[in-house]
Amino acid sequence: MTSDSITSITVLPGRAKDGGQETFDEIAIRPGDTISIVGPTGSGKTAFINDIEVFARGDTITGRTILLNGELPPDDTVRDPAQKPIALITQNTKCFADLTVREFLEMHARARRIGDDSRVKSTISLANEFTGEKIGGSMRITALSGGQTRSLLIADAIVISSAPIILLDEVESGGIFKEKVTASLRDHRKAVLFVTHDPVLALLADRRIVMTNGAVEKVLVPNGREKEVLLRISTMDRELSAFRERIRAGELLTIQEGTR
Ligand SMILES: Nc1ncnc2c1ncn2[C@@H]1O[C@H](COP(=O)(O)OP(=O)(O)OP(=O)(O)O)[C@@H](O)[C@H]1O
Ligand SMILES: [Mg+2]
């Protein structure tokens, strides 16, 4: 299934942990949408993402139902990895095999029945737009840094999986250009949902789902009202990253002229 054949994913309400009904009517997700999911530990963020991943039909612990283009999706769409419209990346997603970047992508392309070699190349160049540390096709996957691995996995989900829906569950944001990644997901008309504790990423999304006690408590639609705050925390975030880099580089930190 490609982005063109997907017009919407709809989440229908289920139950909170205490058995109470969720109060939203439905949450519709369309190509190009970016949605962040926030809430305390144990509030059901991962369960929400998983419901979408498996196309729940009232058969998961939350009782939610997920529709594809307004209907329950046929079995082969959901089970066949070559057709599955969803790519899920989690904190634990690792590339186990000791392959080069190119071999890893070629292997995935074959599994997705893609014969076209240029896709591997475009994945590598997209990954390089997401991180400042250069990724080469002949590098070993196991030798990549955290930021490089995350960039490669996201680029892989965009180009090779060509899954129209991308789910990210607490994928750390260190070593990746957040604005660049979210802009690229929008440009590629991906629908993306991410669970995040990163304030910049949470605010970069168009909508923010707030979870409590296993249920969706509310869906915030900032519509530009958080723009100034986003600008402010992005600046703070960049400053913090610069300090982090200097600590890593072994510097002794003192307030320098102009940084006060
Ligand atoms: N609506 C629900 N009804 C019953 N159990 C639920 C519901 N939602 C989540 N749970 C259960 O509650 C536990 C915590 O949920 P989950 O792992 O989704 O939380 P989380 O917000 O992702 O937490 P963390 O921030 O620690 O990753 C899990 O065992 C999950 O199966
Ligand atoms: Mg979780």
pLDDT tens for the chain, 260 residues: list them. Answer: 555 688 999 999 999 999 999 999 999 999 999 999 999 999 999 999 999 999 999 999 999 999 999 999 988 878 777 778 898 888 776 666 789 999 999 988 888 877 777 899 999 999 999 998 999 999 999 889 888 999 999 999 999 887 899 999 988 877 788 889 989 998 999 999 999 989 999 999 999 999 999 999 999 999 999 999 999 999 999 899 888 888 988 999 987 655 55
Cα(196)–Cα(22) distance, rounded to whole angstroms? 22
The closest alpha carbon to 213, from 4, 11, 21, 12, belongs to 21
Cα(66)–Cα(209) distance, rounded to whole angstroms? 16
**Is the Cβ atom of 74 under 6 angstroms away from ligand 1?**
no
pLDDT of residue 115: 76
**Is the Cβ atom of 41 under 6 angstroms away from ligand 1?**
yes
Cα(56)–Cα(42) distance, rounded to whole angstroms? 20
**Is the Cβ atom of 17 under 6 angstroms away from ligand 1?**
yes
Cα(70)–Cα(199) distance, rounded to whole angstroms? 32
**Is the Cβ atom of 39 under 6 angstroms away from ligand 1?**
yes
> Is 29 within 8 Å of 207 (Cβ atoms)?
no
- Ligand 2 centroid to Cα of residue 208, in Å, is 16
Residue nearest to atom 11 of ligand 1 (CA): 44
Residue 191: C-alpha distances to residues 32, 48, 74 (Å): 5, 15, 20
- Side chain identity at residue 47, one-letter code: A
Determine phi and psi for 136, rounding to 5 degrees: -110, 150
Q: Is the pTM of this model over 0.85?
A: yes
- Ligand 2 centroid to Cα of residue 209, in Å, is 14
Cα(145)–Cα(125) distance, rounded to whole angstroms? 17
- Ligand 1 centroid to Cα of residue 123, in Å, is 33
pLDDT of residue 176: 84
**Is the Cβ atom of 61 under 6 angstroms away from ligand 1?**
yes
**Is the Cβ atom of 214 under 6 angstroms away from ligand 1?**
yes
Total residue length of the chain: 260
Residue 158: C-alpha distances to residues 119, 134, 136, 212 (Å): 10, 19, 18, 30
Indicate which atom in ligand 1 lies nearest the CA of residue 170: 27
The residue assigned the tokens 């305390």 is: 40
pLDDT of residue 93: 67
Structure-block tokens of residue 125: 């160049």
Helices (H), the chain: 45-53, 75-79, 101-111, 118-130, 146-159, 178-187, 199-204, 227-248
- Which residue out of 17, 169, 193 has the highest number of ligand 1 atoms within 8 Å of its CB and is therefore the one to mutate? 17
**Is the Cβ atom of 46 under 6 angstroms away from ligand 1?**
yes
pLDDT of residue 21: 97
